[in-house]
Amino acid sequence: MVEFARGIKLSARGELEITDVNLEYLRREQLCVHWLSRGFAWLDAGTSTTLLDTMPNCEYRDYLLTSAKKSAKDIFHDPLQ
């Protein structure tokens, strides 16, 4: 899946979309779905930067931001610049 993920192109929103990964699992007949029961919700956190922007007082924010930038650069591209 890592090789597939490296080939994912940015969406019209300029983001990598989890839907593309889900569709690849579906194509390979390896998609496993778990229905969320009442009271659960899926929240789109956006990019790692926007997620970290929601926690400006987090003592690990700088470490997480640096890690996110490095991971993005190593795996895909660097969407944080």
Mean pLDDT of the chain: 77
Please state the pTM of the whole predicted model.
0.47
DSSP letter string, 8-72:
PPP-TTSS--HHHHHHHHHHTT-----PPPTT-------SHHHHHHT-TT-TTHHHHHHHHHHHH
Better pLDDT: 51 or 17: 17
Residue 23: pLDDT over 80 = yes
Instruction: Point out the least confidently predicted range of 24-33, 44-53, 56-65.
Output: 44-53
Domain residue extents for the chain = 2-75
